[in-house]
Amino acid sequence: MPLTVTDAVLDGAPVGVRAVDGVIGAIGPDVRPEPGDATLDANGLALTPPLVNGHTHAAMTLFRGWGDDLPLMQWLEQRIWPAEARLSGDDVYWGTRLACLEMIRSGTVRFWDMYWHQLDVARAVLDSGVRAVVGQPILEFEGAPDGARPEDAAEGIAKLGELGARVHGALTPHAHYSVTESSLQLIAEISRTQQVPVHTHLSETGQEVQDCIDAHGCRPAHYLDRLGLLNERSVLAHGVWLDDEELELIAERGATIVTNPVSNMKLAVGGAFRYPRARTAGVAVGLGTDGAGSNNALDLLADMKVFALLQKHTAVDPSTVPAAEAWAIATGEHAPVLGGRPLGVGEPADFLLVETSGVEMTCGPLLESLVYATSSASVDTVVVDGRVLMRHRQIEGEAEVRARALEASRRVCA
Amino acid sequence: MPLTVTDAVLDGAPVGVRAVDGVIGAIGPDVRPEPGDATLDANGLALTPPLVNGHTHAAMTLFRGWGDDLPLMQWLEQRIWPAEARLSGDDVYWGTRLACLEMIRSGTVRFWDMYWHQLDVARAVLDSGVRAVVGQPILEFEGAPDGARPEDAAEGIAKLGELGARVHGALTPHAHYSVTESSLQLIAEISRTQQVPVHTHLSETGQEVQDCIDAHGCRPAHYLDRLGLLNERSVLAHGVWLDDEELELIAERGATIVTNPVSNMKLAVGGAFRYPRARTAGVAVGLGTDGAGSNNALDLLADMKVFALLQKHTAVDPSTVPAAEAWAIATGEHAPVLGGRPLGVGEPADFLLVETSGVEMTCGPLLESLVYATSSASVDTVVVDGRVLMRHRQIEGEAEVRARALEASRRVCA
C-alpha cells in the first residue's frame, strides 16, 4: 500500500512525501494522499535522509561492555575470540537484530557489516526492515576463528542475493595482514568479474603499516593496489595511518575510506584519520561506528559530533568539518558506493522524521542542532522501503529482540 | 512531605530510599514508606548519584548553533559579544531555565555557572529545582562587556545567599588575562575572608600561557598562586596547557581543575588536559560542558564518553580513564569542592533513576553502559532535595520554558 507523509518540514518549508512500491513517487509542498494510501501525519517534524553506517560488526552488541578498557590484544585473546568461538547462527541473528534496533533508533537504516554467520546476519537485516551489505570475514592467520574461504565467497554472495533486495553481499577479507596474498588476489578477481564490493580493514594501527613494509616492501594501500584491491568497489575501514601518497592513490582509484573515530579513540590506536588531507586529495569518505565491542554504541548521530570534534582538535582549527559536512558524510553523500541516496523522486523511500522542538534545539540551523546539540532521541520516525519501522520511538517487537539477544549475550560472555 | 522510593536497584541489589526534609533519612533493602509519605515505585530502575557540571555558562543556550565552526575571535567579536550586549535579565532567566531543563534531562542537578545577571541566573536555578554555584564574570579588558566589579562581589554573594539554600555565590574573575592584578588580589582577599570559592578560566589556550609569561614572567598557575588565588576554594576551568610543575603546585594547594573536553575540541584549542599527569600529581578533577555556545549540548553523560575517549587517544592507551573513573569524575567524587555527594544517610536527597533495559545495554556493568553505550535518554527520573523534578522524562512546565527561551534567543541572535 502506498504511504503518504503529510505536514513534514524540509529546509524550513512544508513538504509531503508519497512512497509507492518502496520508492519515492512524489515529494513537495503539494503532495496529498491518494485514495487507499496509508497516511502518516508528521505534525511538523523535519524530513531528512537517513544515515549510513559504513563499517560495523553488528552482532558484537552481544559483547558490549565485556572487557572495556583492556589493551587490544588482551581484549581480543581473552574475551572476544573465545566468545566468538561459542557463537551460533541464532546468537548472531539476535545480536544483529539488537544492533538493527539501536541503529533504527539513531537514524541509521543502511550498514556495512563484517561478521560470522552471514546468512543469519542477512536474515536479521531483512526481518528488521533495514538494508545492509554483509560479508563473512575471511581470516587466515594461525589461531584465528574459522572464517569464510575465499573460494566459497562467490557462492555465498549468490545465496545472499536470493534472500531479498534489501541485503547485498560483499567480499570481506579481514585485512591485508590476516589473509594470504594468493587469497587476496583471488578476492580481487572475484570482485572484478562479479562486480561486488570488497570491504576490509586498512591502516588501523601503526604496527600494521610497519609489518606491511617489512613483509611486502610497501605501505598497505600500495600493497592492496598491487593485488588489484584498490578500486571504486573498495570500502576501506579506518585509514588512520595513510600517508599523502596513499591518500592520493586511493582517490585516484576511486576507493572509499570509512572513518570510525570513536572506535579509534576508544582502542587508542594513536592517530586520527587525516580527513583534511583526504578531502583535498578527493577521497570518497564515509562514517562508521565499528562494532559495539569497541565503541560501544551504534549511534552514528553521536559519532558525527565526535568525528567533527576529533578533526577540529587534530587540525587545531574550529572550522574543520563544519556541521553540514559531518552530516553529509554520515548520510553517505561523499561516498556513492556506500549506497546512501538523497531524497527525490525515484529514490528509495528511506527517510527520517526528526523532532525539532526538543530543549536541545534553539536558534541555529537544523543540521547544526543534529550534529552538535541533540541526541538520537530526537529521531521520532524511521521509514525504509516505504515502510514505517519506528513511530514515536516505538519499534514493533523490540522487547522480544532485546530479551533474546540478552539471553545469547549472557551465554556467550561466560 | 517525605518521599519514599521503592523497588530501585543499587549495585545489582534491591534498594529503597526515604527522603525527609531534602535529606536521605534511610537507604537500604528494607526501606518502606511510612504513613503519609509520598511514594515512587522505581519498578527496577537503577539508583545512582546525579552528575555535577563543573563549568558552564548556562544561559548561552540562547546562542546555541549561532556561529558554529567559526574561528574563536570571530565568533566572540561578531556573534557572542554583540548579542550579549543585548541580553536582559529576563533573557538570562529563560536561557538558564532552558539549560536547567537540558541538564535535568541528562542527569545533572548541580552546576558551576559564570554569567551575566547573576540574580536572574539564581532565580532560574531555584525555580528549576536544581542546585548551582553562580557568579557574574568580572571582566576588565578594553572593549569587554560590563562585568561585575570586584568591590561589589561581596555584596552580590550576600544577596545570592539570601535567595535560598540551593544556590551559592562564587567569585568569578573571567581569567587571569582579562582582570587586572589589583582586582585579582582583591578577589583573593574576599575569598579568604568570606571563605567563598573562586571560579575562573585557566590555561585554555597556548597563547594565554605565552602572554602570561610575557606579562608576568611566569606561567598562569604560578601567577594565580602569587596572587593568593590557588587554594582549596579555587575551581579552574580547562587547564589544557598546564605543565608538570603547575599541576604539582595545583595539587599541593588543593585547587580543582574542571576539564571541558568537548568545548576544547570544538574550539580546537590544540591540546588536551593532561589528566594522567594531573592524576599522578593528585589534582582534584571535575568535568564540565562549558557553555552551549561551544559544545553545543549540556549533556554531561555524553561528555563523559568524550572525556574518556580523548584521554585514551592522547595517552595512546585504551586503559586510560576506565568507565568507572569517568563516572566518578562526572559525579564530583574526585573534587569535593564541587559539591557532589555520595548516596547515604544524612546526604542531600539528590539522585537519579536510570533505565537499564534499553537496547543499548547488554551484558556489561551498568557504569560501562552509562559511560560508553547509552544516551541521556536512559535517565528516567531525577530527584533533587527530595523533590521529583523529572519522572518518565517529563518535566513540569517544559513547554513554556522552551517557548520563552526561544523567543529570547530569536531576539538576541539578530
What ipTM does the predicted assembly reach? Answer: 0.96
Q: Tell me if chain A has a CB within 8 Å of the CB of B342.
A: no
Phi, psi of B54 (to 5 degrees): -80, -10
B320 touching A (Cβ < 8 Å): yes
Encode pLDDT of B208-243 as tens digits. 999 999 999 999 999 999 999 999 999 999 999 999
Going by pLDDT thresholds of 50, 70 and 90, the confidence category of residue B145 is: low
For the stretch B25-70, pLDDT in tens is 999 999 999 999 999 999 999 999 999 999 999 999 999 988 888 8
Distance CA B414, CA B412 (A): 6
Tell me, yes or no, if B300 comes closer than 8 A to chain A by beta carbon. Answer: no
The answer to whether residues A171 and A289 belong to one domain is yes
H or E element at residue A167: strand A167-169
- Same-domain check for residues A269 and A387: no
Q: Is A402 left (phi over 0), alpha (psi -120 to 50) or beta?
A: alpha
Query: Chain A closest CA to B286's CA: distance in Å?
Result: 20
Q: Are A168 and A176 in contact (CB under 8 A)?
A: no
Domain presence at residue A162: yes
Q: Domain check: are A370 and A245 in the same one?
A: no
| Closest chain B residue by Cα to residue A62 | B362
Residues 91-120 of A with CB under 8 A from B: 98, 101-102, 105
| Statement to judge: residues B313 and B213 lie in one domain | yes
Q: Do A323 and B69 touch (CB under 8 A)?
A: yes
Least confident of A58-72, A179-193, B125-139: A58-72
Same domain, B183 and B82: yes
Beta bridge partners of B84: none
Angstroms from B345 CA to nearest CA on chain A: 31
For residue B40, what are the CA distances in angstroms to B16, B33, B348? Answer: 10, 9, 18
Q: Cα distance from A264 to chain B (closest Cα, Å)?
A: 8
User: Are A248 and A283 in contact, with CB atoms under 8 Å apart?
Assistant: no
Kindly give, in sequence order, each residue whose CB lies less than 8 Å from that of residue A84, ignoring residues fewer than 6 positions away.
Answer: A116, A145, A412
Q: Measured between alpha carbons, how far is A176 from A187 in angstroms, rounded to an integer?
A: 11
Q: A184 lies in a domain?
A: yes
Residues A204 and A303 in one domain: yes
Give Cα A87 to chain centroid, integer Å: 22
Which of B80, B290, B363, B395 best tests the A interface by mutation, with the highest count of A CBs <10 A? B363
Over the range B16-52, which residues count as b (16 or more CB within 10 Å of their CB) and which as e?
bbbbbeeebbbbeeebebeeebeebebeebbbbbbbb
Mean pLDDT of the region A138-165: 83
The 3-state DSSP composition of chain A as helix, strand, coil percent (nearest 5) reads 40, 20, 35
Closest partner residue to B65 among A105, A296, A364, by Cβ? A364
- Within A19-112, residue ranges assigned H as helices are 72-74, 81-85, 89-105
Whether residue A55 sits in one domain with residue A40: no
Which of B297, B363, B374 shows the shortest C-beta gap to A360? B297
B39 and B100 share a domain?
no
A188 and A74 within one domain: yes
Average pLDDT over residues B91-107: 97
Q: Which run of H or of E encompasses A199?
A: strand A198-202
Asked whether residue A409 is assigned to any structural domain, the reply reads no
Tell me the average pLDDT across B116-138: 96
Which of A303, A322, A338 lies at the terminal end of a domain, its last residue? Answer: A338
Chain A residues with CB-CB distance to B368 below 8 A = 65, 68, 296
Q: Which helix (H) or strand (E) holds B212?
A: helix B206-216
pLDDT, residue A83, reads 87
- Decide if A255 contacts A237 (C-beta within 8 A): no
Q: Do residues B41 and B6 lie in contact, with contact meaning Cβ atoms separated by under 8 Å?
A: yes
- A-chain CB neighbours of B270 within 8 Å are 313, 316
pLDDT in tens, A4-47: 999 999 988 999 999 999 999 999 999 999 999 999 999 999 99
Min Cα separation A369/chain B (Å): 7
Q: How far apart, in Å, are the Cα atoms of B25 and each of B250, B348, B349, B407? A: 37, 9, 8, 42
Cell representation of residue A196: 561486488
User: What's the mean per-residue pLDDT of chain A?
Assistant: 94
Q: Hey, is the C-beta of A297 within 8 angstroms of any chain B C-beta?
A: yes
Residues A236 and A367 in one domain: no
pLDDT digits (tens, 9 = 90+) for A200-259: 999 999 999 999 999 999 999 999 999 999 999 999 999 999 999 999 999 999 999 999
> Does the beta-carbon distance from A362 to B295 stay under 8 Å?
no
pLDDT at position A147 over 70:
no
% of chain A at pLDDT higher than 90? 84
The verdict on residue B123 lying in a domain is yes
Write out chain A residues lying below 8 Å of B357, CB-based: 402
Q: Are residues B42 and B63 in the same domain?
A: no
A292 found inside a domain: yes
Give the confidence band of A144 by pLDDT, cuts at 50, 70, 90.
Answer: low
Angle at A183 between CA A180 and CA A188, to 5 degrees: 125
Provide the residue range defining the domain that includes B391: 3-49+349-398
Distance CA A376, CA A391 (A): 14
Q: Which residues, listed in sequence order, are joined to residue A110 by a DSSP beta bridge?
A: A52, A131
Chain A partners of B268 at a C-beta cutoff of 8 Å? 312-313, 315-318, 320
CB contact under 8 A, B322 and A410: no
Residue B78 lies in a domain: yes
In a domain, A413, yes or no: no
Q: Give tens-digit pLDDT for B286-338.
A: 999 999 989 999 999 999 999 999 999 999 999 999 999 999 999 999 999 99
- Measured between alpha carbons, how far is residue A75 from residues A68, A69, A263, A357 in Å? 8, 8, 14, 42
Q: Specify if A183 maps to a domain.
A: yes
pTM comes to 0.97
Hey, CA dihedral for B114, B134, A374, B400, is it positive or negative? Answer: negative
Give the C-alpha separation, B121 to B115, whole Å: 8
Tell me the per-residue pLDDT of B362-382, one tens digit each, with 9 for 90 and over: 677 889 999 999 999 999 999
Q: Do both A187 and A44 map to the same domain?
A: no
Write the CATH number for A210.
3.20.20.140
CATH code of the domain covering residue A9:
2.30.40.10
- Nearest-angstrom CA–CA distance, B70 and A156: 49
Q: Which residue has the cell 557574574?
A: B136
For residue B297, list chain A residues with Cβ-Cβ distance below 8 A.
Answer: 360, 372-375
Distances (CA, A) of B271 to A316, A321, B248: 8, 18, 19
Count of domains observed in chain B: 2
Contact list in A for residue B364 (CB cut-off 8 A) is 64-66, 68, 296
Q: What residue of B is the nearest CA neighbor of A376?
A: B375
